[in-house]
């Protein structure tokens, strides 16, 4: 919710005053033109003054869209149960193991085969870039009922996309973390990477589909679902932001702690929830 300045912008107030004075001027002109020229002159002068202020204001103030920012919430381990959501949408990156792990020695083909076998031990998921997606799911585990995992898929065998790793993530979360929510995945939720310039728009469309499904089918209110845009392709994050401009939906990002030399401290992740709303210009 915005303040008084957002509900009653000066531009709109000046427009209303000009309209009032114009009506008053017309009434004065028809009633007192012959009887009291002073009132007519004063009304004309006031009208011209307000009109001048309005023109100057219009020229100096661009009619742009503004953003009203809510207070971000940083979730540490003790806060997760309080802010957990019933619905989560999380992006999935193309699997990449950390350097120095046994999974790093696997070839691309071997990694895909391990994913097909649901062999999360071989992939060492918590020591890969998929840790952030797993952390996002863990953050909401106390209340989580529905989780949509959005991956990418390619059009050639050498570009399988991150969707190939979603089944092994689900297996790990269920067996090792004991999270028994309903997972939603499938091609209709995934984003094709065959056209990089349209990824943000495709992501936006998928999220709109999920929002409608969450509300109509699973009765999840807008404030009971959050979109985690930490992972995935960078432009997917833009799609998440554009899909959440109404101020009713939150987005989140998994952050990390850094050492004094700027290196990420392993496994010390935390979730930040953001809320914002586009404030459209009013004439």
Q: For 83-96, b where at least 16 C-beta lie within 10 A, e where not — what string?
A: bbbbbbbbbbbbbe
Question: Percentage of residues in the chain with pLDDT exceeding 70?
Answer: 77
Q: How many CB atoms lie within 10 A of CB 133?
A: 28
pTM above 0.85, yes or no: no
What are the tokens at 78? 């003790």
Q: How many CB atoms lie within 10 A of CB 136?
A: 25
pLDDT range class, residue 196, cuts 50, 70, 90? confident
270-276-279 Cα angle (round to 5) = 170
Q: What is the pLDDT of residues 259-275, one digit of tens each?
A: 888 777 878 899 999 98
**Domain residues of the chain, as ranges?**
4-61, 68-279
Please spell the DSSP secondary structure of the chain, one letter per residue: ---HHHHS-HHHHHHHHHHHHHHHHHHHHHHHTTT-HHHHHHHHHHHHHHHHHHHHHHHHS----EEEE---EEE-GGGHHHH--SEEEEE-PPP-BPTTSGGGGS-HHHHHHHHHTT-HHHHTGGGBTTHHHHHHHHHTTTT--EEEEE-EE-SBTTB--GGGGHHHHHHHHHHHS---PEEE-SGGGSEE-S-GGGHHHHHHHHHHHHHHHHHHTT---GGGEEEE-SSS-HHHHHHHHHTTTBSS-EEEEEEEEE-TTSPEEEEEEEEEEE-EEEE----
CATH architecture of the region 68-279? 3-Layer(aba) Sandwich (3.40)
Q: What is the pLDDT of residues 108-144, one digit of tens each?
A: 999 999 999 999 999 999 999 999 999 999 999 999 9
What are the tokens at 191? 């984003």
Mean pLDDT, residues 195-210 taken together = 91
User: What local confidence, expressed as pLDDT, does residue 210 receive?
Assistant: 96
Q: Are the C-beta atoms of 241 and 270 separated by less than 8 Å? A: no
What are the tokens at 242? 């554009």
pLDDT range class, residue 279, cuts 50, 70, 90? confident
d(Cα 137, Cα 84) in Å, to the nearest integer?
Answer: 10
Report, in angstroms and rounded to the nearest whole number, the Rg of the chain calculated over CA atoms: 27
pLDDT range class, residue 251, cuts 50, 70, 90? very high
Q: What is the pLDDT of residues 97-111, one digit of tens each?
A: 999 999 999 999 999
For residue 123, which of 111, 135, 133, 132 has the smallest C-alpha distance? 111
Torsion angle, alpha carbons of 163, 255, 210, 192, to 10: -40
Between 113 and 247, the more confident residue is 113
Report residue 197 CA to chain centroid gap.
Answer: 19
Mean pLDDT, residues 7-16 taken together = 58
């Amino acid at each position: 919710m915005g303040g008084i300045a957002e509900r009653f912008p000066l531009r709109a107030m000046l427009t209303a005053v000009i309209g009032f004075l114009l009506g008053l001027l017309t009434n004065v002109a028809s009633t007192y033109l012959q009887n009291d020229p002073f009132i007519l002159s004063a009304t004309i002068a006031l009208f011209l003054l307000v009109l001048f202020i309005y023109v100057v204001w219009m020229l100096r103030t661009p009619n742009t869209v503004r953003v009203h920012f809510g207070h971000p919430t940083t979730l540490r381990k003790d806060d997760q149960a309080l802010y957990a959501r019933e619905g989560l949408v999380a992006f999935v990156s193309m699997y990449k193991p950390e350097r120095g792990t046994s999974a790093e020695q696997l070839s691309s083909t071997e990694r895909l085969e391990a994913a097909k076998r649901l062999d999360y031990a071989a992939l060492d998921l918590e020591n890969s870039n998929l840790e952030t997606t797993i952390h996002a799911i863990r953050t909401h585990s106390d209340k989580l009922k529905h989780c949509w995992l959005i991956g990418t898929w390619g059009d050639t065998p050498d570009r399988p996309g991150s969707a190939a790793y979603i089944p092994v993530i689900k297996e790990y979360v269920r067996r090792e973390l004991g999270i028994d929510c309903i997972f939603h995945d499938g091609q209709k939720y995934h984003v094709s990477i065959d056209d990089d310039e349209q990824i943000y728009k495709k992501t936006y469309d998928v999220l709109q589909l999920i929002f409608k499904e969450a509300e109509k089918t699973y009765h999840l209110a807008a404030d009971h679902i959050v979109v985690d845009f930490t992972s995935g392709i960078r432009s997917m994050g833009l799609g998440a932001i554009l899909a959440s401009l109404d101020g009713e939906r939150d987005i989140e990002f998994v952050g990390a702690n850094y050492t004094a030399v700027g290196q990420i401290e392993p496994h010390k992740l935390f979730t930040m929830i953001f809320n914002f709303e586009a404030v459209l210009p009013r004439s």
